[in-house]
Structure 1
């Protein structure tokens, strides 16, 4: 009886803590939703109201009619999708090679990938700008793609390395006995078993690129090349901040991330049951 009460108390405490954390996480999102439904006058009402007196969807309409957010979303989708695919290809190959082959300088190579993540982004801004400018790629999608993959490939390679190391090498040996080449073994046998790791890597790479602001601001100049974070930042004017429009744009910007996460989460969970070696 005492053990049951103790377990019940521990479970109740755990759920209470989770509920508090969940509320703390949802409060900013709910406030964003509340602000996005207010008119230009009500957002400055004191004391602030959680529930708008006269809810309006005008801010959601304005982000599509008064601002070129459709173009911003298209730019972000193109740049982030391509950079995610490129990062996955190179990180999977690098992770598989590092997990299966022993070569001179392997430790130095992996250390170099890790060290590249230790530099603050602001320190790399000027070198990146000079390189992109020399290549004549300022104000292009290619500039942003090159920049984003330089950030994501090293970390994604480490993520995939850890996952490939968890896949038994006996599978490679069995495939080699059956006459499979190394590349065919990777594509047909090892890669399908690494799909949970690919899903996690995809989520990381997509979120990193979608939320990036600083490099997108510096490397793009025209309105037709700017991304969603830059577009949202432009709602801060010199004399006025469009809080309701900004919150509406921010909530709409969350939708692609939520869809990507839900899609890959389901795919990840369904892939966790994939077996490798029958014992």
Structure 2
């Protein structure tokens, strides 16, 4: 009896310690986010008040109003949305085709191609800055949406391809054989049978491609110079002025920039369910 009580007490203590550790780690993530939300609704005077106030004495929307009146925030938002939407769509489509082809067809150089795709992720992005600038410049795509779209596609396609490889490998080849018996060709088998079963993978790669392109700053800063072509991350960074920094404006812009990421995850989270193909083929 005493041993059982001792074991139970150890389990309870271990559970309490685990939850305390998780709460500590969660606080490290949530505190900056809560501070951003709090600062976005403060007046400028409260942002520089000492000691700092967590909760604003009076909720103010003046920072959100200035985003649309004093800053070209709408232009930044439109540029980012157009660039990210096209790069995400192309990356997901290309990675689905590559994942299907590499797992369903045998051809010479298949393993070398997979290794090459993996190796491209081993180079730090800052090392590719000068080559990309030279190539985009020779193509006369500096200060254009297409130039950034091509750069972001090159960043996201390799990782998205390897992610989709895992999902396509998990699908049994019996599905393809059954579809071909029913008269489907390769494209019909891909579009009607295999692709709908990889929705969790498509959701994962879409979120990755969107977040990577939406948050990217370095290449957007170097490859664009005209104010009407700058993206949201560059525009928010330029709110840091020489004379003063309006922290409430920066936090309001950061909060607005976070909303598309939150909405995307909320819309796609239902697809993060494993086992969609369980039972698809009877063993």
1:26 equivalent in structure 2: 30
Match of 2:254 among 250, 253, 265: 250
Residue 44 of structure 1, aligned match among 24, 48, 59:
48
Deviates more, 1:213-222 or 1:82-91: 213-222
Give the match for residue 167 of structure 1: 171
CA distance in 1 between partners of 2:91 and 2:42 (Å):
41
- Residue 272 of structure 1: how far off its partner (Å): 4.5
Q: CA deviation at 1:110?
A: 0.9
Farther-moved stretch of structure 1 (90-99 vs 49-58): 49-58
> Which residue among 167, 190, 194 is the counterpart of 2:198?
194
Could you tell me the TM-score, scaled by structure 1's length?
Answer: 0.94
Q: Is the Cα contact below 8 Å between 1:196 and 1:272 reproduced in 2?
A: no
- Alignment partners' CA distance in 2, 1:179 and 1:88: 27
Quick one: distance in 1 between partners of 2:142 and 2:239?
Answer: 23
Q: Is residue 142 of structure 1 aligned with residue 154 of structure 2?
A: no
TM-score between both structures, scaled by the size of structure 2: 0.93
The Cα of 1:239 is off from its aligned counterpart by 2.1
Q: After the TM superposition, which of the residue ranges 108-117 and 250-259 deviates more from structure 2?
A: 108-117
d(CA) in 2 for partners of 1:64 and 1:27?
27
Alignment of 1:50-89 (within 5 A): 50-89=54-93
Deviation at 1:249, TM superposition (A): 0.4
Matches within 5 A, 1:1-279: 1-2=4-5, 4-269=8-273, 272-275=275-278, 276-279=280-283
Look up the SS of the partner of 2:162 in the other structure: helix
Moved more, 59-68 or 1-10: 1-10
5+ residue gaps, structure 1, are none
Give, in angstroms, the shift of residue 138 of structure 1.
1.2
Count of matched residue pairs: 278
